[in-house]
Structure 1
Amino acid sequence: MVINDYYKVYKSGGLIISQKMRLKTRFYEIEAEKPIVILNDEDAKDLGVFVSSRVKIKYNKHEITAIVDITETLVGEGEIGLLKDIHDLIKVEDDEFVEVESARRPASVDFIKKKLDGKTLNEYEIYSIIYDITNNNLSSIELSAFVTGGYINKYTVEEIVSLTTSMVKTGKQIDFGDDVVDKHCIGGVAGNRTTMVVVPIVAAAGLTIPKSSSRAITSPSGTADTMEVLSDVQFSIGEVKDIVTSTNACIIWGGAVNLAPADDKIIRVEYPLSLDAEGHLLSSVMAKKMAIGSDYVLIDIPVGKGSKIPQSMRARELASRFIEIGKRLGISVECLITDGSSPIGAGIGPALEARDVLNVLENRGPVDLMNKSLDLAGTLLELSKKVDKGKGRKVAEDILSSGKALAKMKEIIEAQGGDPNIGPEDVDVAEKQYIVTSKHKGKVRFIDNKSISAIARAAGAPRIKSSGIYMHVGVGDSVKLDDPLFTIYAADERKMNDSVKVNEKLIPIHVGSVISDIIT
């Protein structure tokens, strides 16, 4: 260890001694997605830093502030461990000496504490937090504290607007011109691949609908995962603009174009803790719509037992918040409260959902997916004032039945590098199959979205796109003993065994009983 100098700082009547140190580098081929250094515990004590403190590193003309991690054994005294992220930024190799000194933590950490204390944040404070999240300036602990603060202490409308605009400003934006329309579903329903039907219908009507979609986090498939069965979904901003110019639409993975990047980082923290603060949900959705210049946005809020929103009153409250935020942002928003009590469509998993979409576009069902998609498309046509109120559903039906929607989807698939002539039967599904049958006769009373999704994921979806579930029954259908309820598709024997065990444990389809719950 080499200590260059000491300097004294007087603060609150106490003497703080800080040090600058020259430490020898040790390089680790590990990506952390943020600037992290590893210090030996003794050197950390000498510098006066702790886990998640900041240090400033100088090497030649390069300077960077990094987050501290501490070890007793991984690096020795007089050494500093550099992960690949910092190595790439300051271009330092092994066994070089760098200058290290303690640094102030970002001001945004104080603003995060302010939210934890239940106080309201102003626009500047929120922008500072989002900027530091986007640029990886916050430690995992600090980001978790921000998520927790928003979950415990609800955001005001003004805070949500600031969160939304800050997410937009710290990411990329795309201008698609005027009268841009978009839709979003808050999720929680298995299948439900309406976007891939709505987009070609609306685009065939002459509207611009550049749809950036997500990949699955907890579900068996996201829209981007399903679309990837038919075409590429990752493009640069320039490529996306070309696709939309030629087809009026696109269905892409939003993560590839860096729209509202802070949102993805926040979601990664929320997911393990099952936290879903309303303010984060609202700003997450609206930021991505604002980033592509949406003028009209339709929000699908599924409601029912087993969905994200179990009660209609809660759905109406959320809808009113979406509409209010939209007004503040200059976006016309309409919300549809839909039935989310059971899966929509027959396929659950990327390939099986892609088959459903193509079947609907060929006017062959599934009926529930077709009807919901037509309702959404019709409402969006009316919201955008493309058609008169009350005529949207009929116009959407005509576009679908005439084959115009299918033709438009073929254009989009081809523009995104896929085979425009692909049909439902051309989509490969996993060879191993297991049919789950009814244990007794009666009516299908309930299909649990979460359980069905868990079985499909155990089978390999969404990572293995050919895996998943195909439903043979819906709520209200009558079944006899040993009638097929659904088929599990898995790529190998191990995945099939896993999914069968999950099914036996969860029993996702309730047949015959009028009992809604059992209290013990």
Structure 2
Amino acid sequence: MRLQVKNLPIGTGDIAIAVLCDKDATRLDLRPADRVLLKFGHKKIVATIDIIGRVNGAPQRDHKKQVICCGEIGLFLEVQYALGVKTGDIIEILSEKKPISISYIKKKLEGKRLEKDELYAIINDITEGNLSEAEITYFVAACYLHELNMTEITHLTYAMVETGEQLKLHQHIIVDKHCIGGVAANRTSMMIVPILAAAGLTVPKTSSRSITSAAGTADTVEVLCPVVFSLADMKRIVHKTGGCLVWGGAMSLAPSDDKIIQVEHPVSLDPTGQLLASIMAKKKSVGATHVLIDIPVGRGAKITDLKDAISLQGKFEELSKRLGMKVAVIITDGSQPVGNGIGPALEARDVLWTLKNSARGSILLKEKSVTMAGILLELTGKVPKGKGYHIALDILESGKAYEKFIEVITAQGGKEIRPDQIPMAKKSYIVTAWKSGKVTHIDNGIMNKIARIAGAPHDQEAGVYLFCHKGTIVRRGDKLFSIHSDAPERLKYAIDIAKKENGFEIG
């Protein structure tokens, strides 16, 4: 059947939706959520059908105000862009069978092991948009209920890599790092990339935006320079400077991973097998040969039990061997925020002060970053065993890391800026100690929550600034942290939350 396009100003952000009137749907024997193949010239896309004039599957009689008339097909933004159509164009619509990958998802739900080609089919269909959000959720749930074994994880990782773009730098050694998350103000990538690049290593670092935190690395870097680049531009920047700090979501590196994460987040599902495959696929897709994995553990972090961290460490090491990559997996203190600032602008100031060896820099951020950079220098054989920390520290304290950082952000379209020139929210509120004693705990989750309520990361200038960390001796009335926001209602709400639970424990 051929239908006239009516473009609708609606998008889902991912899922391709087409809308039919009830009569046309009946002629095609289509029901809501059925799949159709849409063709326009040489372009085609599989879309999910919605039907005007049906409520709960039942036809409705009043069609006078119907948005889509018979002979028309309404297209959501995702379909419009894929086909390159405008209102009035004629497209062809054909019914589409359910992908065979659905039967493989059902197989996993039954607790059976999946073969290489079955996992590839699932990931390919996720990448191509052939599976609905509900079907992807079933796949995630199946992997949660019936854990993937290491062979399945290996196949899943390769499938994620092979169904996306890959960065080809043709370098013998390519370095990368990843933190599994859960710790506020953990901006080590912005420190490690310039330290390693200044040492002569190649570090094509892709980072994510925030999902639940007050800022992701990409959000913080974006305060200083653009982070959205094509794969070709990323390659150009890396060839020019030895490193980059770009947003991975702008490229199709292991693109199925982003779609899987979208369905994991609302129900807080993060199956171990998919966590491993997700991280290592991103590293493999940029050609990484030597990788450092940071597993923060502690109360308030993503992983709270040391035994779980050690188990995950072993799995990363096993998977890396199967992928032909050298990996160092470290377990770090995740019981408090790493830096002082929490929120894009506050964290960017933190990084700059620390790179410039200013007294206003973060001691914890400096120590953790130098330690991790040192491990990678030794892992790659760039420096002798036992010398990595001191050489990384020298690169930082000599100013070479700061110079390289400016080189990288300049190549990405930014320019040098003093930390105190970065705009901050004009309104703030200071939370003080309610008693004297030692700070024994600072909860990452609560700090992120307060910073997000204040407006971070969407408002770059909003967030939280810590005046002390664990182990600090405070007196009643001393500053613990400040809340920053230009939105009065947001600031008031953040203050209310901080008064109920401020994340600090004083012993």
Q: TM-score, normalised by structure 1?
A: 0.90
Specify the SS of the correspondent of 1:358: helix
Q: CA deviation at 1:151?
A: 1.6
2:162 paired residue number: 169
AA aligned opposite 2:296 = P
Encode CA deviations 1:423-476: one digit per residue, 9 max, x unaligned. 222222111110001112222121110000000001111111111111011112
Encode CA deviations 1:378-406: one digit per residue, 9 max, x unaligned. 11111111111111111111111111111
- Of the candidates 390, 401, 408, which is equivalent to residue 405 of structure 1? 401
AA aligned opposite 2:11 = E
Specify the SS of the correspondent of 2:401: helix
Per mean C-alpha deviation after superposition, the further-off stretch among 347-356 and 424-433 is 424-433
The 8 Å contact of residues 143 and 273 in structure 2, kept in 1 or not, is answered as yes
Q: CA deviation at 1:175?
A: 1.5
- Of the candidates 329, 336, 342, which is equivalent to residue 342 of structure 1? 336
1:486 aligns with 2:481: yes
Specify the SS of the correspondent of 2:108: helix
2:74 paired residue number: 81
1:31 aligns with 2:11: yes
Q: CA deviation at 1:340?
A: 0.1
Specify the SS of the correspondent of 1:435: strand
AA aligned opposite 2:35 = R
AA aligned opposite 2:482 = T
Alpha-carbon distance change, 381 to 84 in structure 1, aligned in 2, over 3 angstroms: same
Q: CA deviation at 1:197?
A: 0.8
Q: CA deviation at 1:114?
A: 1.3
Alpha-carbon distance change, 24 to 232 in structure 1, aligned in 2, over 3 angstroms: closer
1:440 aligns with 2:439: no
1:290 paired residue number: 284
AA aligned opposite 2:205 = K
Encode CA deviations 1:71-108: one digit per residue, 9 max, x unaligned. 42654566533223334445655567655443211111
Specify the SS of the correspondent of 2:452: helix
> Identity of counterpart residues, as a percentage?
48
Output aligned runs, 1:32-47, within 5 Å: 32=12, 33-41=14-22, 43-45=24-26, 47=28
1:53 paired residue number: 34
Q: CA deviation at 1:271?
A: 0.8
Per mean C-alpha deviation after superposition, the further-off stretch among 157-166 and 332-341 is 157-166
How many residue pairs end up in the alignment?
A: 491
- In structure 1, how many angstroms separate the alpha carbons of the residues matched to 2:40 and 2:205? 44
Specify the SS of the correspondent of 2:126: helix
Which of the pair has more CA radius of gyration?
1
Q: CA deviation at 1:234?
A: 1.4
Alpha-carbon distance change, 94 to 408 in structure 1, aligned in 2, over 3 angstroms: closer
2:472 paired residue number: 477
Encode CA deviations 1:335-360: one digit per residue, 9 max, x unaligned. 01000001111111111111111111
Per mean C-alpha deviation after superposition, the further-off stretch among 51-60 and 205-214 is 51-60
Specify the SS of the correspondent of 1:371: helix
Specify the SS of the correspondent of 1:355: helix
Specify the SS of the correspondent of 1:105: coil
1:112 aligns with 2:92: no
1:198 aligns with 2:205: no
The 8 Å contact of residues 34 and 137 in structure 1, kept in 2 or not, is answered as no
Specify the SS of the correspondent of 1:290: helix
- In structure 2, how many angstroms separate the alpha carbons of the residues matched to 1:61 and 1:226? 41
2:219 paired residue number: 225
- In structure 1, how many angstroms separate the alpha carbons of the residues matched to 2:335 and 2:85? 56
1:382 aligns with 2:386: no
Output aligned runs, 1:56-135, within 5 Å: 56-57=37-38, 64-71=45-52, 72=54, 75=68, 79-90=72-83, 94=87, 100-135=93-128
1:367 aligns with 2:363: yes
AA aligned opposite 1:211 = K
Alpha-carbon distance change, 483 to 230 in structure 1, aligned in 2, over 3 angstroms: same
AA aligned opposite 1:358 = L
Per mean C-alpha deviation after superposition, the further-off stretch among 73-82 and 331-340 is 73-82
Q: CA deviation at 1:417?
A: 1.4
Output aligned runs, 1:261-276, within 5 Å: 261-276=255-270
Encode CA deviations 1:172-193: one digit per residue, 9 max, x unaligned. 1112211111110011001011
AA aligned opposite 2:434 = K
AA aligned opposite 1:119 = K
- In structure 2, how many angstroms separate the alpha carbons of the residues matched to 1:59 and 1:374? 55
- In structure 1, how many angstroms separate the alpha carbons of the residues matched to 2:372 and 2:176? 11
- In structure 2, how many angstroms separate the alpha carbons of the residues matched to 1:397 and 1:25? 61
- In structure 2, how many angstroms separate the alpha carbons of the residues matched to 1:223 and 1:453? 14
- In structure 2, how many angstroms separate the alpha carbons of the residues matched to 1:462 and 1:258? 23
AA aligned opposite 2:388 = G
- In structure 2, how many angstroms separate the alpha carbons of the residues matched to 1:194 and 1:97? 52
The 8 Å contact of residues 15 and 133 in structure 2, kept in 1 or not, is answered as no
Alpha-carbon distance change, 89 to 445 in structure 1, aligned in 2, over 3 angstroms: closer
Specify the SS of the correspondent of 2:227: coil
1:144 aligns with 2:137: yes
**Structure 2 gap ranges (5+):** 55-65
Q: CA deviation at 1:407?
A: 1.3
2:204 paired residue number: 210
Q: CA RMSD in A?
A: 2.0
Encode CA deviations 1:317-371: one digit per residue, 9 max, x unaligned. 1111111111111100110100000111111111111111111112233111111
- Of the candidates 182, 185, 201, which is equivalent to residue 188 of structure 1? 182
Output aligned runs, 1:230-245, within 5 Å: 230-245=224-239
The 8 Å contact of residues 378 and 391 in structure 1, kept in 2 or not, is answered as yes
1:330 aligns with 2:330: no
1:468 aligns with 2:487: no
1:515 paired residue number: none
2:412 paired residue number: 416
